[in-house]
Structure 1
Amino acid sequence: MEKNRKLRVGIIGCGGIGTNKHMPSLAKIEEVEMTAFCDLDLEKADKAARDFGTANAGVYTDYREMLEKEGLEVVHVCTPNSSHAPISIAAMEAGCHVMCEKPMAKTTAEAKSMVEAAERTGRKLTIGYQNRFRTDSMFLQQACRRGDLGEVYFAKAHAIRRRAVPTWGVFLDAEAQGGGPLIDIGTHALDLTLWCMDNYAPARVTGSVYRKLGDQKDTGNAWGDWDPAEYTVEDSAFAFITMQDGATIVLESSWALNTLETGEAKTTLCGTKAGADMKEGLRINGADFGKLYVKKPNLDAAGVDFYEGDEEKPADVEARSWIDCILNDTEPVVKPEEALKVTEILEAVYLSAATGKTIEFN
């Protein structure tokens, strides 16, 4: 890349996830300039351009027009799940590298088409699983790679809220999103678990999906009561996942569950040498010299090989890593093939619940 030249980045989708995560993080990167903004709501695109764009940033309601006119090199897709695939594919075919918000797509078929487009066009594609970039996540993943836990044969992926149903946008719309908490927050927990295990080979999935609280009112919800008529997704989903090597993953996800055992984007791992969980910060447990131990790594200390100075937000680390992989022509941390496996498993959970059958993978 030429010295002092900036990557021309376009944003498609100027709602909450774009304006609260993607744009603020990109704005901190010297090698980036946001030169185009697109949203079906022109006022949102115009405001994003004023807040984060260059002086002459383009504003659009049609992403195809934006891709045709703006000469972009990078596109961030921050739209509802149902449009992730068509927009990402169009951007790659227009010559852009693509960061797409999670989940990768609404369906496995769409996610596969995104992987195929990346291979066909030679463009980079990554998915917005920013929880990989937390200090505890990176520490645990490195410990797993070094073999500290041994063979991880049992895990839990946690994404449980007591009452925090998102009531804005299209979160409650099954057609636009493809599902509720499973595809929204369960996807983060599952991605984190598979990444730490380095295991992307599912054998079978048995799932249960519930809409038990969707008709209730006066719920104490963090964002106010939802409209039952608009609540067309599940409020909880659970799965028992068996991997090809025999490892087991229990996936739990809910926006609204009568429980005090809450926590999301967390994993519990059990291996032959040691175990780990994130319930009270990162904890490693095992046995040495005939005695049981629990260790809590000091993630605020200097000297950790991936961590220096004040803690950065995971979204900022994610954005910096993504731009660096483009500038240096390296692989992104979140590979599209890995995100595809997450989508395949989530789809299998929904299918299993709908059919009452265990879903077998080839």
Structure 2
Amino acid sequence: MAAMYSEFADGDWSSLRSARMSRQRLVGEPFASPVDAVERLTAVQAQEYVDAGWALSQRSEGTPTASEIEALVARGEILRTHVLRPTWHFVRPSDVRWMLELTGPRIVRTMASAWRANGLDDAHERAQVNDAVGEVLDGGEHLTRKQLAERLEARGIDTTKRITFITLAAELDRVAISGAPQGKQQTFAAFDDRVPASDPLDHDEAVARLAERYLRGHGPATPHDLAWWGGLTVADARRGYEAAGAVPYELEGLTYYEIDGLDTPSPSDSGSSTSETGGLGSHLLPPYDEYLISYKNRQAVDASEDYTREPIEGLFFWGLAVDDGRVVGGWKWSRPTRKADPASATLTLLTDTTSAVRDRFAAQAERFSRYLGTPVELTMEAPR
């Protein structure tokens, strides 16, 4: 695992873990709602839809359910689109336009080979396809990818093996965005129907806004962290911190930035005191959770020097078991094959743990059960 995050370095990262977990409301007073969570975090990686909803639920008052979060997406209070990096994110409607204007062109450039392979590198072809997508979605349509492909084929647009890239291009070019889900299917709707109009920002203004928002939701962080998370150059990240009035400080040989005077809730601000939860508590975070994915340097969470067994292959793509802010294992869950059966979850621990820690993970599994709206049967595998 160490190589996946960084080479392990001796040092005291406890203050950084505490600040970040508090800022992201994994400890301390939770956000009032998932909408507030997305607002403060600015963008939440969401390629795994149900797991991404769990990331919002954990940070919100009352552990909102998956169906409640889906209802927010259906109403357009939270949107899901490709922004920052070429992957899905949950974003607030008021933030989509300026963020895509800033990061969209860079995402397009990074995917040059994909556009060439699908004929979307040709400006005339791309415009023709986008026009057709806009026409199909006109009038308030919310269509699944399959439905959209059928409508485009009827207009003479070849979608064979390239509908995924057609919808991605339409998102990046601000033609389409997520609509109301149909069952388990993502839909697409007209961009302007779901995203309010707003005055454009110039590049430097947008970078400064993104830098400030990132630190408020994720800080403290280095310029390289922001560059990774926001799809920016490191030079832009440094300029963004400066324009946002961020203050640098040194920790274990690295320069971190923070918004001066920013009020960060302390872990003891929540209903569960640190004595009840054990430091920063224990969490079952979903794959690609912002606590991990939003930083390029992740050595602060690395517990590999304490591992008593070999790291799990591909651990970074698992859900991560975090105790006191450090990754101590991985977990996976699966839906039941029969509706009457419970969902199953397996937690593989990589460190020796106390019964109190295991009890806290069991409590998190119960919380996950409430989120899913179905019982969850948890199996814990001890280090071997």
Compute the TM-score of the two structures, normalised by the length of structure 1. 0.21
Question: Comparing both structures, which one devotes a greater share of its residues to helix?
Answer: 2
Compute the TM-score of the two structures, normalised by the length of structure 2. 0.20
Question: Comparing both structures, which one devotes a greater share of its residues to strand?
Answer: 1
